[in-house]
Structure 1
Amino acid sequence: MESKKIALVTGANKGIGKAIVKELANRGMIVFLGSRNAERGRMAVAELQHEGEVHYARELASTQIKVNAAAPGHVATDFNDFHGTRTPEEGAAIAVKLATLDEDGPTGGFFDDTRAIPW
């Protein structure tokens, strides 16, 4: 029996993060959604649960997980009044790539679409 991959997406109650959660859930992954605002996080989980297995991230407090950071580029979101040069889906691509790495993939790194970025 093949086990499902699990992803944690932070800042996921809107914009790029929400697009990442949606895409990963649609790919059959179990996704934990992180949000600085608890109420907005719960609302996003409720909205996205029809996409697949989406949970609120606080459930992972004592779990060891692989952690990588992604630089999505200049994405058009409400944060920049939608003046970015990339769509949320384009910005989500690197996070989706990192979340779907094989077991021996990198951890503790910072990445953009093409390379590892020095901390």
Structure 2
Amino acid sequence: MTTLAEWKLTSEDGKVDCSLPYTMVFLGRTDCDINMESDSVDKRHALITFDHYQNRFKVKDLGTSSGTYINERRIPDETFITIEEGDAIQLGRDILSISCLILIDHIVFLVPFRVPF
């Protein structure tokens, strides 16, 4: 049986819709891996990385004035916080959601279907 997971980051307005690599990505207004067109987002606002030891994605605010929020709670500056499927990640006034598509032997499931890894 072949199992693949594709994690997606999407915005409410549809301007952001991308797959998350199992590496590190910068989010911000300009010169980032994921660019967001918003006055409330700093030039380099946040960082999402994959923790290979915990098998989880984590987000970190890069010391912004408008902050980064997970499910409406502001996260501390420069501290990695684990994010889960379905979490709402807010950069300034812009909200992104994280979701996972699971592919098992050519059948696609949208999480919350859970596959033990």
The TM-score with structure 1 as length reference comes to 0.27
| Structure with the higher strand share, 1 or 2 | 2
The TM-score with structure 2 as length reference comes to 0.27
| Structure with the higher helix share, 1 or 2 | 1
